[in-house]
Amino acid sequence: MRQSSIAALRLVGMLIRPAAVAAALLAIQSSATTVAPAADPFTLTPIAPGVYAAIDGPAGRSGSNAGFVIGDDGVLVIDSFFDPEATKVLIADIRKLTPKPIRYVVNTHYHADHVAGDAVLRAAGAIIIAHRNVRGWVRTENLHLFGAHPSPRIAAMVTALPLPDVTIDHDLTIWLGKRKILIQPVLGHTGGDLIVTVPDAKTVYCGDILWRHVSPNIIDGDVASWLSTLAEMLHATDASDTTFVPGHGGVATARDVFDFQRYLGDLRALVSRDRDRGLSAKALIDAALPEFAQLHGDWGSFAYFAPLELGYMEDELAGRKRRPQSVVD
Ligand SMILES: [Zn+2]
């Protein structure tokens, strides 16, 4: 990639993990002298027969996790990464496993680190399914994520993102032959999130409703409803033998859902307490951050995201959190 790409990727720091941006920059800067093929941008992890998680590598080259489910008569993909080159590797991996058509890609939410490979999957034959708000947000709210003045390159990328073909604001069941896949709207992360459950494999693809040992990006979040969603997931009867695929971090268990619930709960409790003490803005962040770090400072990207999270949490508790507004078709 060229210099303009490097500038664009620096802005991506607003959206995806700084480690991912650093890795991408390193890859770009060394590409002129390196000819050896790079390692896979993600680790393909089998969960059950025909059920796979694609977990972003430690360098963050894919931008997020993804996954896919092979049924009797086709394949359903969950999320498409930030880097379309990683999406092409995913398709090649699917092709090594099955010749069945790739029929669907489900976007768990609109953030570019989960949908920027959609065009590659659509070209491979997939219908794009998303929450109805994603159709209204994918080319607009994604610009907001890149700061006040997105570069022309980022603006061009975002405004060219495909719009979903099928939008839902209620549960949807997809049948891949005998294999049932349940797609459900959930609240908390953006206001337009879907989770994807494969009941016969006791697997739930959570998108960014779940972060495993990685500090979350809550720029669009509503922690109150997010905590309710996590509690519902944990109260499901088979939660203890369910595999949860998070949007970021490794394949997870109910214990990891519980840990993430505790992370958000601690965030809310600390900010609430310091607001009660009369603190706000920078003084509140300075007061809460050391204690927050004592509890969760070992989570990935904590140093980058935690101060932002404290600020967003204060906005939410003060009733002034900016969140994307639901759209009417
Ligand atoms: Zn994400």
Q: 130-145 in b/e burial notation, b at 16+ Cβ within 10 A?
A: bbbbbbbbbbebbbbb
Tell me: the pLDDT tens digits for 101-126? 999 999 999 999 999 999 999 999 99
The counts of H helices and E strands in the chain are: 12, 12
Structure tokens at 294: 């004592």
Distance from the CA of 283 to the center of ligand 1, in angstroms? 29
Structure tokens at 289: 């951050």
In this prediction, residue 11 carries a pLDDT of 37
Distance from the CA of 145 to the center of ligand 1, in angstroms? 12
Distance from the CA of 213 to the center of ligand 1, in angstroms? 13
Distance from the CA of 207 to the center of ligand 1, in angstroms? 7
Q: Does the pLDDT of residue 13 top 50, yes or no?
A: no
The answer to whether residues 60 and 54 touch, using CB atoms and an 8 Å cutoff, is no
Distance from the CA of 221 to the center of ligand 1, in angstroms? 12
Of the two residues 31 and 146, the one the predictor is more confident about is 146
pLDDT average, residue stretch 208-222:
98
Distance from the CA of 251 to the center of ligand 1, in angstroms? 15
Q: Does the pLDDT of residue 151 top 50, yes or no?
A: yes
Question: Under DSSP, is residue 314 helix (H, G, I), strand (E, B) or coil?
Answer: helix
Distance from the CA of 225 to the center of ligand 1, in angstroms? 18
Percent of the chain with pLDDT over 70: 88
Tell me: the pLDDT tens digits for 223-274? 999 999 999 999 998 999 999 999 999 999 999 999 999 999 999 999 999 9
> Nearest to residue 44, comparing CAs of 97, 5, 8, 103?
97
Distance from the CA of 201 to the center of ligand 1, in angstroms? 24
Distance from the CA of 278 to the center of ligand 1, in angstroms? 33
Weakest-pLDDT range from 16-30, 52-66, 149-163: 16-30
C-alpha distance from residue 255 to each of 111, 242, 251 (Å): 26, 10, 11
Structure tokens at 144: 């907001």
The answer to whether residues 209 and 221 touch, using CB atoms and an 8 Å cutoff, is no
Distance from the CA of 295 to the center of ligand 1, in angstroms? 23
Distance from the CA of 287 to the center of ligand 1, in angstroms? 28
Angle CA(199)–CA(200)–CA(206) in degrees, nearest 5? Answer: 40
Q: Does the pLDDT of residue 7 top 70, yes or no?
A: no
Max Cα distance, the chain (Å) = 62
Distance from the CA of 300 to the center of ligand 1, in angstroms? 13
Question: Under DSSP, is residue 180 helix (H, G, I), strand (E, B) or coil?
Answer: strand
Distance from the CA of 279 to the center of ligand 1, in angstroms? 31
| Mean of per-residue pLDDT scores for the chain | 91
Instruction: Compute the distance between CA of residue 220 and CA of residue 142 in angstroms, rounded to an integer.
Output: 11
Distance from the CA of 37 to the center of ligand 1, in angstroms? 26
Instruction: Compute the distance between CA of residue 64 and CA of residue 28 in angstroms, rounded to an integer.
Output: 19
Tell me: the pLDDT tens digits for 173-199? 999 999 999 999 999 999 999 999 999
DSSP 159-213: HTSPPPSEEESS-EEEEETTEEEEEEEE-SSSS-EEEEEEGGGTEEEEEEEEESS
